[in-house]
Structure formats: structure tokens, C-alpha cells
Structure 1
Amino acid sequence: MSIFVELVTLQPHIAGQGCLIVKNWTGGHERLEFSIQRNQDGYFLQGDQHWSNSQYWFKVAHFSAAANGDELETVVGPQLVDPLLDVGGMATFRIVLREQGGEGHTEVGMLSPAPNLQSSVAASDEKQVAHEDTGQLKTPVSPPAVVAPEPEPEPEPEPEPEPVPEPVVEPVAPEPVPAPPPEPAAAKKKGWLIALIIAVLVLAAIAVGAWFWLNKTPAVDAPAGDTTQMPEPKPEPPADNQACTLDSMTTLPELAFVQACIKKAPGSAELLEIINVAKANNHCGVAQRLYANRAQAGDLQIAAAYAHEYDPKFHQASTCFAEPDKATAAYWYETILTQEPENAEAKARFEELKP
């Protein structure tokens, strides 16, 4: 039976960290290593959180036994959690677990990240966990608890001073202010003349402003040589009748197309035709995402077709599925058997292909 690996949140939850739980492993607990491969392009996760076409091995010195005794578990940090979450929820991951060196026990299965995992970006005050370039996977350390200082005793209040009566001040009558002398006639005439000059200047300023406003030159269009470009608008989601067409597949981002097409909920036969169109036009990520989404949702016809893409007995070489893969085919046959245990083809092919 293939192994099945889950990446779940810690208790209590820490952003950027998780617990890797391995089910159905029949080997030992010490000196193990594993590699992770995504289905979109077949790339492998590297120790620096990037994806490459070369296989990379994460080393674990010791896996702990879970409480039920049938599973293995180890705590992992942003080195695994962040890149798996960056790929997106539509991706699937293949994991190979073996004894270090590759000469001992080896098993293959699928890795499933929990939907409530959070990347390390969500923790603004948590430190990133460092990892060596050798591929040795380090266990993250939870931050120490902070002990609050004991409160200082409050000082005793000082007694309030007794109020002192204010002295009574007798009111004093104000001295009379002499009236200003009357302005002479010449001063009055000069003030009137200044006011008249100011009024004339204000009226002249208003007239000049009105003339400029009435005779202003209209705005000139931008010259023909201006190369300034406006940002292109984001593509609008297609209408329901265009959600799964080749035109939408070509113009929309891969994930946006898959979400729109799945939302339309085509039948199994119709979805297989859409997948064949994607394969014929080298939209391999679209084909694999549509396969995985509906197969994991319980569509047994899609799951069987996806298994045939990897099964050496049914495999037909194409750009999207260049070579058969027994372990991946066995996983999808096993997925069918979890819902339909008496499926004859799935049972026979799984028995032949299982590691």
C-alpha cells in the first residue's frame, strides 16, 4: 500500500510551521529523507524554497511515533510550508520517502497540505527558521513564554492640604478715559482718497482675470510621438457559456480558467473533452489541475482517466504526460477503491502497480 502524507497545523498554531504526518510507512524511524514533486510541471522542491527539475532530498534524522503508534510525524518550518502554500490549492504533490542513501526501504505516495495552514508571512513578529544547505531539515523551535513583571506597590496617597481662605479685595473704580480729539478735515479727506484708489485697483484685477478666463486657449492633445501607455485592464471572467472554451484557456491565467470552468460544473464526459483540448494545445497545467480537482472531489470516471494517463498499460505519450508513472497511477486507483471497493479494474490495476 502506498504511503499517505499530511501536513497539518501545530497545536497551538504557529504561522509558517506544521507537522508532517506519514501514514502506512513500514520502514524504520531513523535517518530518513524525502523529496516533493508538484504535478504542474514535474519540478521538485529545493532546500532554498524554489522549484527545479533536479530531485532534492530533505533529510530527517529522526521521525517520532504518533500517539496511535501507526504513524510517523515531525515538525517542519517555512522551508516546506511557504513554498507548498505558494503553489496554490489546486496543485497536488508526490512524495518519495526512503532511508538515507537510497539503498534501503523506499515508498511513494501523495502529500496533502491542510487548508488552514498559514505561511510565515502571516507572523510579523516570529523569526524565520534557518536551514543548512546540506538539506538537513531542522525542527522549528516555539518562542519562549514571556513572564510579565510583578506590579509595583501603589504609593500611599498624601493627605490633601487644608484650604486657605482667599483675601477679600475691595473693588476700585476705574479712572475716566479722556475722549480722543476730533480728526481734522484734511485727515478725513486723505482716508477717503486711499479707499477710492483701493476699490479701483480691485475692479481692475477682476476685469483682467475675467478677460484671461474668457480668452484662454483650449487644452492641446498629446503629440503623436507620446509613448505613454495606460495600464492594461485585467481580463474579465468569462461568461458561463465561454468558461471552458479554448479561447478562455488561452487568454486567462491558468488558475483563473480552472476556477471558472469548475464553477460551471460540466459533466464527466464534457470535462474529458475539455481536458483533451487542453492537452492538444499544450496547456498541461490546465489538464492536470482539472483532472486532480474533479478526481479528488469523488468523480470516479475522471479519477480512472487520470490513472490511465500514468498507467503503463493505458499510457499514450504526449507533451503533458510524456512517461508512465506506476506510483501515481496506483494512488489514483487506490482513491477509486476508497469510494468503490468492488471496482474490478481499479482493484486489479492497484494490485499490479502498488510498490
Structure 2
Amino acid sequence: MLNIADTLLSWCSAARPFALATVVDVRGSAPLPVGTSVAVDADGTAVGSISGGCVEGAVYDLCREVLDGQGAPERAWFGYSDDDAFAVGLTCGGELDVLVQYIDPESRPRLTAALTDVVEGRPAAVAQVVEGPRELVGGMLYVDAAGGIHDGPSTAAARREVGAAAGALLRAGRTARAEVGGDAATCPERLSVLVHVQASRPRMLVFGAVDFAAALTRAGRLLGYRVTVCDARPVFATEARFPDADEVVVDWPHRYLEGTEVDDRTAVCVLTHDARFDIPLLRLALALPVGYVGAMGSRRTHAERIRRLREVGVTERQLARLRSPIGLDLGARTPEETAVSITAEIIACANRATGLPLSGGTGPIHRPVPVPGSGRGRRSRHLLLGGPGGEDAQPVVCG
């Protein structure tokens, strides 16, 4: 949904009804993640994409049907084999589960507020009920940056459970499915909700105002990080040298890190390769709950750094978190190539990926995320998308 927040906000602001089709489950490889949406308004205007190819046409038709009927949400499952993947329009070999629902902005006033927060860059979460009692499916709940809960399922117990799940995912900064309820003592309704999250930008902390830092700052900003460059030397740590940084700080690196806010999405990149800065900084960084800690330097520098860190009490478990020498082995030499090497490693760490060439592996490119309980209460129908009809036509099962 958040991939088309700008358009949805303009439609909601104009009280313009639309049908919203959202990917609520992915099995195998798929080009776009869970939470991606397509919307169609009463004039037939479509925005967004969930796959490309013929699936888009089928989803568009379902949106028009739901929009015309203004009725209950429809669930559609698109499955295919390797042989008919091209006919369906998705060549990745996976499966998509899509929820299509009618949205009347006048009956969902808080949706406009949620989309406003998203468009203006404020943290927000929209929880969408995708499975459960029929009267609750399609219901939405909005959690703002302060933790306030707005709208949601019709029962107080369900609102409480969905709100708690949405708040937790907002704090974690990720869009995901959550299973709630099913307990007679707290919330008897068993619900599966898809929580669309816009979190604050993750942080990249670059220590060392060097040429490599300038290139890394540009790359980090391209990836959506809020980038800080920190160095104790005021002659080097200037905004003029780092125009792509969100902030440039003159301070001792360990002192700045000790006083700033970090989380498990934060990337700490130490480019100073000077023991005066590195050792106290890495000693602290490796004890913090950050997502990535990398340090630049040769293998000889790395060995000496490890020795010094052990001397100051850094444990073997903490040392195992250190990515040093920093970056993936790309043969990088220039600052720009090195920035690509470092950011590639950060991406691999964040996604728990190997960093190895895809051409040398097997299996799906995108790791499947199992979703407990998906598929309950699915109504089925078939769309023949493979050809003009007859035995060669391949069915896409929708429910």
C-alpha cells in the first residue's frame, strides 16, 4: 500500500472511492514484496504494480469488479509452473496471494491521516486484516508515531491485539504479517493482519572524514540511510566535504556513538584505521545492538586491531560481529568501488544473505517467508490466462 501512498492520499483527500489490491503472501520468488499494492478508481485509473504481465490485467479486472459491487473483499491466488510462467506474466516461478477490497475514504477518515504521515515522512503503521471472520477482513487500524491507535476491528479486544502487533512492527521498522487473537480470555477472534510500516530512516554512522567516507555517504543516502559523518578533526569534518551527509559531527568517535541513538538497523562504518580512534569506538560499537559493524584496514591492520580489542576486554562473541576488512571482495580500488563493496555487505548482512554470486547458487533468488495459516477460508475460481482457451490454457486459481 505504501508504494502508492502519494496517489492514495490524493484520492482520499478528494473522497474518491477506489479498489485496493494488495499482495498479502508470497511463496517462492516474486518480483515485489508483501505489502505492494495496485489501486483502481471509479474512472478506471490504475496506479501501482504487483508483478507485471498478464497478472496485472487479472488484478485490474478484479479491482473493477470489487469497485462496481462495493461488496466484501475478494481473495485471489496466482499460481503457475515453470512451463506456463511466461504465459501468466511472472517468470520468477513463485506464487502470489492478493486481497482486493473496496475503499470508501469517507468511511475511513483515519486512513487519510495515516497516508499523510507516510507521504510527509513520519513513522506510521497501517494494519490490514487479511484473514479472519468475514466481517473483519479488510478492516484497517492506524498506529501513529506516538503509539496512538485509531480505527480498527469492531471489537475492543481485536483492536487491542492488532494495535499491539502493529506497534511492535512499527518499532522494529518492518512490514510483515502477524497472527493475533484466538484466545477466548483475551481476543476470541483469530486474525491474520498485514502491517504496512513506514519507519524512520535507518542510520549509517561513518567514522573518519576521508575520501572513502565521501563516496560511502553518497551510496548510503542512495539506499535510504540517514548518514552521519563523524571525525574529531574539524579541518576535515566539514559540510563542504560531505554535502550528501545528513549531518557532519566534529567529536571523538566513541564519545559521539555513546551519546547518539542507534537500533538494530544501524550500520557503523569505521574508516579511520587509526588505533586512537578505532579501539575505543569498536569496543563500544560491538557491545551495542546495531545491525552492522565494519572497519577499514589491511589484514595486518585487522590482526593488530583484534589483538588490541582483546586486550581491552572485547569478547570473542563480540569480535565475531566485526566485518573487517570491511566490504565484500569485489576487487574494489577507488573510493566509489569501495563504497559499493561496503554497501553490498551491509545489504547482505541486513538480509542474512551469503553475498555469493547468484549464478553459482540454486533455488529461488528471493527467500520464501512462511506465513502460518495462510489460505484459510479461500473461495476458488479459475481464470484462464494461458491462451485463447482449450487444453493449452493454464488456470490461475483465485479465491
TM range (shorter): under 0.3
Indicate the structure (1 or 2) with the bigger Cα radius of gyration.
1
TM-score, with length taken from structure 2:
0.23
TM-score, with length taken from structure 1:
0.25
Q: Which is strand-richer, 1 or 2?
A: 2
